[in-house]
């Protein structure tokens, strides 16, 4: 049976913990040049197809780097929305079948439509990894985010996480909320302008779990609550429909060094990147801003993901 990665909910708590352990092992091995060279003997001759219908820097490059460090060959189709047969009207199911027919071992897909990677997986002869689908999900980002939290706090049970910014179209926060709900005594604090609040499908799914939810519309209101992680996101302007943000909304959802002064002492600031003005440049230098470490963790985690897809996490 093919091991697709299409949604966060397909993984149990134990699955997530296994991925975190394996990513930690890869992270340690990557620090040593001799170990890195040995890793390239892991999957020699295996082929990864990188099919991105939307722009990407971190996800695309970290998957390609992960494949390289595991000894794989990579074929890339960048800007597939414009430079693939999708322009001619080809159905995603046909795209998946055709590409997998070239003896591909895994296909990594970022798609502009929610559910696009799942459609590609329907006819694919190779496992498909969802690298982000419209305003839907981003399960591999979720895994590296969970790894980053676990690495910092040594646990996820009892964690209190603020999810802030564009929660309506921000697929990273949707996936992360689902994953966090699988752990014990977790509290999620949603803070977003009314027009960008978390969609009802996620809220309803979370109600079936033990996770505690608090909702605010203004960042200032959050500082009355204790929290461990502040996960900030940019406004997904490319997905906005009829939503209109006021200048005041945009101003009040910008993290500055003054905000960090009000963070709990051990709290950290995360962001899936890219930052588009919602965090000021000065914040980069604060040790509590760990989004570059978070981004770095994408490499070992995606190595663990490719390994799981190809032969299972050891």
Q: Is 281 exposed, middle or buried (0-12, 13-18, 19+ CB in 10 A)?
A: exposed
Phi, psi of 289 (to 5 degrees): -85, 105
Name the residues annotated as catalytic.
Answer: 58-59, 88, 110, 138
What is the β-pairing status of strands 106-111 and 47-52?
parallel
What is the C-alpha to C-alpha distance for residues 285 and 266, in angstroms, rounded to an integer? Answer: 16
What DSSP element (H or E) covers 202? Answer: helix 200-207
> Strands, E, within the chain: which ranges?
47-52, 73-77, 106-111, 128-133, 160-164, 187-191, 212-216, 229-232, 268-270
Longest dimension (CA), the chain: 56
Chain Cα centroid distance, residue 286: 23
Phi, psi of 5 (to 5 degrees): -120, 105
What is the β-pairing status of strands 47-52 and 187-191?
unpaired
Q: Is 16 exposed, middle or buried (0-12, 13-18, 19+ CB in 10 A)?
A: buried
Length of the chain in residues, anyone?
314
Tokens at residue 46, please? 């295996």
């Amino acid at each position: 049976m093919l091991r697709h990665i299409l949604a966060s909910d397909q993984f149990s708590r134990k699955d997530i913990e296994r991925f975190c352990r394996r990513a930690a092992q890869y992270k340690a091995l990557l620090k040593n040049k001799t170990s890195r060279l040995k890793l390239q003997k892991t999957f020699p001759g295996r082929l990864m197809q990188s099919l991105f219908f939307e722009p990407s820097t971190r996800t695309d490059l970290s998957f390609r780097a992960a494949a390289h460090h595991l000894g794989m060959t990579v074929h890339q189709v960048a800007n597939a929305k414009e430079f693939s047969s999708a322009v001619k009207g080809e159905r995603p199911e046909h795209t998946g079948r055709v590409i997998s027919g070239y003896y591909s071992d895994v296909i990594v897909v970022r798609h502009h439509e929610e559910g696009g990677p799942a459609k590609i997986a329907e006819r694919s002869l190779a496992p498909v990894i969802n690298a982000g689908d419209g305003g839907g999900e981003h399960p591999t980002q979720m895994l590296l985010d969970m790894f980053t939290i676990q690495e910092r706090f040594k646990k996820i049970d009892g964690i209190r996480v603020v999810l802030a910014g564009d929660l309506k179209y921000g697929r990273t926060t949707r996936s992360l909320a689902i994953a966090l709900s699988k752990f014990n005594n977790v509290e999620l604090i949603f803070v977003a302008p009314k027009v960008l609040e978390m969609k009802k499908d996620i809220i309803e799914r979370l109600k079936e779990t033990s996770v505690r939810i608090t909702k605010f519309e203004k960042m200032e209101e959050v500082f009355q609550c204790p929290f461990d992680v502040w996960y900030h996101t940019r406004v997904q302007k490319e997905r906005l429909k009829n939503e209109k943000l006021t200048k005041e909304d945009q101003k009040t959802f910008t993290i500055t060094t003054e905000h960090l002064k009000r963070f709990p002492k051990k709290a950290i600031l995360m962001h899936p990147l890219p930052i588009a003005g919602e965090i000021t440049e000065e914040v980069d230098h604060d040790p509590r801003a760990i989004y570059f470490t978070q981004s770095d963790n994408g490499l070992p985690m995606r190595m663990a993901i490719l390994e799981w897809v190809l032969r299972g996490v050891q």
